[in-house]
Amino acid sequence: MSQSDILEGLAAILEEVAGVDPADVTADKTFIDDLDVDSLSMVEVVVAAEEKFDVKIPDEDVKSLKTVGDAVSYIQRAGVAA
């Protein structure tokens, strides 16, 4: 799966879960500061991403996903490993 496919998928998830405009979702945006995703919404985003991309993101790894780009890279690596 390409980075742009993952980015589009995350944008759709963020719109659904947190009401974030998909046009605002770029790799350099941080979930908390730039996109206003709170910790509860972040859990929902992670669960939706796990289902959509068929990956597992352990809680300890979620803490390291600060930007959308971090999440895209993580999902891409996890998908290759699966």
Q: How confident is the model at residue 1 (pLDDT cuts 50, 70, 90)?
A: confident
Tell me if residue 34 is catalytic: no
Active-site residue among 36, 38, 54, 61?
Answer: 38
* Number of structural domains found in the chain: 1
pLDDT band (50, 70, 90) for residue 51: very high
Higher pLDDT, 68 or 81: 68
CATH, residue 31: 1.10.1200.10
**pLDDT at residue 82 is higher than 80:** no
Q: What is the pLDDT of residue 80?
A: 76
Give me the pLDDT at residue 71, please.
97
Asked if 34 and 20 touch (Cβ cutoff 8 Å), the reply is: no
What domain range is 64 assigned to?
3-81
Q: What is the pLDDT at residue 75?
A: 96
How much is the pTM? 0.93
Please give the single-letter amino acid code of residue 67. Answer: T
- Beta carbons of 43 and 37 less than 8 angstroms apart: no
